[in-house]
Amino acid sequence: MSQPPHNPTAADGASAPQFLGTRIRGLRKRRGMTLAALAAQSELTAGYISQLERNLSYPSIPALFNIARSLGVTIQWFFASEANTAPEDQGYVVRRNSRLSVHYEDGIVDQLLTPQPNRQLEMLHSRFPPGTYSQESYSHEGEEAGYVLCGSFEVWVGERHFLLGEGDSFSFSSQEPHRYGNPGEVDAVVIWVITPPTF
């Protein structure tokens, strides 16, 4: 498992957080679940979850999805930021410096572009460093679409494989097993839209 990557730049919208593991642990305890019970339900090892809870490691995207589902929340619940939102913006506008972020293993970062609480869709800004992938396929309710802002991006949907470049877009049912990653030598940035906001 990867150790937390170096701190992202200010352009990423937030410094690398140390809250994710604390939020997982707090929610697990509020749900009255033991570490072993969460591990069994999410099909992960107790040791892996323990490392996450102690902020010693970042999760993979599918791992956090399984943890969220096991705890009865969406991944959106784990987004957090120290930035404050101006009262006049709340519920309508997300400023670049107040995006809520989740950091995954290998330096992958998702930033929430839609304000909370969400309505029927959510939009994400995802940054994939070169050579990073969501290793396991996963599925969930809803539909999603994406636009490759820059870099190269690979998407597997069921048995289909697509190699995408800057300016390409895609859409699929989230119920189909899917995974994705960056085969290129520079960061890939993808804008995602997911409805309903089950991710």
- Say if residue 18 is exposed, middle or buried (CB neighbours under 10 Å; 0-12, 13-18, 19+): exposed
- Rounded-to-integer distance, Cα 88 and Cα 119, Å: 18
Q: Which two tokens stand for residue 165?
A: 């470049």
- 133 close to 182: Cβ distance less than 8 angstroms: yes
Helices (H) and strands (E) in the chain, counts: 4, 9
Q: Is the pTM of this model over 0.85?
A: no
Which pLDDT tens digit goes with each residue over 7-49?
Answer: 333 334 344 446 788 889 999 999 999 999 999 999 999 999 9
- The top-scoring range by mean pLDDT among 48-57, 84-93, 114-123 is 48-57
Query: What is the DSSP secondary structure assignment for residue 76, as one 8-state letter?
Result: G
